[in-house]
Amino acid sequence: MSELLTTAQMAEADQLTIIGGVPGLTLMDNAGRGVADIAQKMAASGALIVVLCGPGNNGGDGFVAARLLKAAGYEVRLALLGEAASLSGDAAQMAALWDGEVLPLEPGLLDQADLIIDALFGAGLQRPVTGAVAQMIDQANERRRAGQCKILAVDLPSGLNGDSGAPLGEVVIKADRTVTFFRCKPGHLLQPGRELCGRVDVVDIGIEASVLDEIKPGTLRNDPSIWRTTFPDPARQTHKYQRGAALVLSGPAHATGAARLAARGALRVGAGVVSVASPPDAVAANAAHLTAIMIKPFQSIDGFAWLLKDARLRAVVIGPGCGVGDRTQDMVLRALATNASVVLDADALSSFMAGFPAHTLFAAITEKARGATVLTPHEGEFTKLFGRFDAGISKLERGRLAAQRSGAVIVLKGADTVIASPSGRAVINDNAPPWLATAGSGDVLAGFIAGLLAQGMPGFAAACAGVWLHGACAAKFGPGLIAEDLAEQIPSLLRDLRPTARANNGRIIA
């Protein structure tokens, strides 16, 4: 279930299902049952559960959950925004089945609650929460912050934009857990939505996956299922250059570590030959640390260009520790003029500020081939390169726009890394643990992507796979991670990913 649906696409999925013969009432009943099931995992038997219902279908889901939880022996207190008489459609029918009291949103409602179910708005809200509802949300968040209760959100925490992951205003529910239906939305994965949702459970409510053929979602959650078919799986009869050659540009003597991290990442992920292009003053430092990775000295930009003429070269990394300025710009343009795929990170990006130099970079990328170049900026580098976007444009859409503008695959890094292709395809990655935020980890990521490009993966797939592996390596190692640890986790992950890989006991791992 890697597809991510916008709020509009999810509404379309509902309508297609109803047109196909499944009553909306059935979808609502299934949704409410899913909420009730998760609520019972969060609250002890007999606990007090307060259900906050809104005037739309989200509130209808809340009425269903309240009825089922009451039948299961919980003490249930239900409150409705507005009057029950004003409800319509499926929500009105579900409200009619509730045999308990319907309370207003008023002070004291949340007192003694063990669990609060937020069924106020979900994805239907388009404006900031204000008034009595905002006060109720503040009270709920304060009780949760004090450890007095937990909060379960229905579909989305009220006040959160499901497409961008951004709060609609100053007031938004902070949930421990969120129940959503059929597929996640981008806002479940994009920050700060990911934190505001807590754990997200996806419930099957009776919508068939076949509706996706008509909706055609363009955004996916990063997962091996979306790139495994292009993941390299070397044949028995092969040699190192057939497995791919990659070149990483080193910085000067005092800044060589970043390039070595990238080079080791490329080698570990499977590139057959990895070399470090080293300026003269850095040769000794690199030679003291490298063994399987070769060193290729060069003395000038023309010397670097000569190294790029090796026809066996499939991927080049420029940026880690190489310095900011005209010299780096020139080397980037020389690399883009070759047939090799290029990964640009760190200083290579900062060397092209927004404006004319960036225009020069994008022209060179587009002339090369759309998608054959991968840019890996963090937010600061992204802003330098592409300028500032309007505040209302999400990280997902910024990544898409930047990919279309530059002609490159964009890896916009962060806890919610977005990978975007010039074609409009985009992926959100959510497997990165917090300890991945450590010096040098981005250099390793650049190496992972280059190593996969060297083995023949297409640019977008290589970027998606590299980012996923990056997060998986960090999660596998755990707290205390430093950048040097990342590449060392790769071998065990590759055993699981490669269809013909075998464990030491000979068992085939699919």
pLDDT digits (tens, 9 = 90+) for 78-112: 999 999 999 999 999 999 999 999 999 998 999 99
The predicted model scores a pTM of 0.94
Q: For residue 371, what pLDDT is reported?
A: 77
Evaluate the omega torsion of the peptide bond into residue 234 and state whether it is cis, within 30 degrees of 0: no
pLDDT digits (tens, 9 = 90+) for 350-370: 999 877 789 999 999 999 887
SS3 241: coil
Contact (Cβ atoms closer than 8 angstroms) between residue 85 and residue 55: no
pLDDT digits (tens, 9 = 90+) for 439-483: 999 999 999 999 999 999 999 999 999 999 999 999 999 999 999
Contact (Cβ atoms closer than 8 angstroms) between residue 94 and residue 64: yes
SS3 75: strand
Q: Specify the long-range contacts of residues 7-12, CB closer than 8 Å, at least 24 apart.
A: 7/123, 7/124, 7/162, 7/163, 7/185, 9/215, 9/217, 10/123, 10/162, 10/181, 10/182, 10/183, 10/185, 11/123, 12/211, 12/214, 12/215
Query: What is the average pLDDT score of the chain?
Result: 94
Burial 155-176 (b: 16+ CB within 10 A, else e): bbbbbbbbbbbbbbeebbbbbb
- Residues pairing with 179 in the sheet: 154, 201
- Beta strands (DSSP E) in 324-401 are 341-344, 373-375
Checking if the pLDDT of 510 tops 60, the result is: no
Query: Whole-angstrom Cα distance, residue 229 to residue 129?
Result: 45
Query: Whole-angstrom Cα distance, residue 333 to residue 331?
Result: 5
- Range 367-391 average pLDDT: 91
- Residues pairing with 167 in the sheet: 160
pLDDT digits (tens, 9 = 90+) for 134-165: 999 999 999 999 999 999 999 999 999 999 99
Polymer length of the chain: 510
Domains of the chain: 3-217 (3.40.50.10260), 240-497 (3.40.1190.20)
The conformation of residue 160, written as its DSSP 8-state character, comes to B
Contact (Cβ atoms closer than 8 angstroms) between residue 248 and residue 274: yes
Query: Whole-angstrom Cα distance, residue 487 to residue 9?
Result: 39
Contact (Cβ atoms closer than 8 angstroms) between residue 189 and residue 416: yes
Burial of 336 (C-beta count, 10 Å sphere; 0-12/13-18/19+): buried
Checking if the pLDDT of 279 tops 70, the result is: yes
SS3 455: coil
Query: Whole-angstrom Cα distance, residue 413 to residue 379?
Result: 7
Contact (Cβ atoms closer than 8 angstroms) between residue 181 and residue 213: no
pLDDT digits (tens, 9 = 90+) for 39-81: 999 999 999 999 999 999 999 999 999 999 999 999 999 999 9
CA dihedral 487, 198, 178, 10 (to 10 degrees): -50
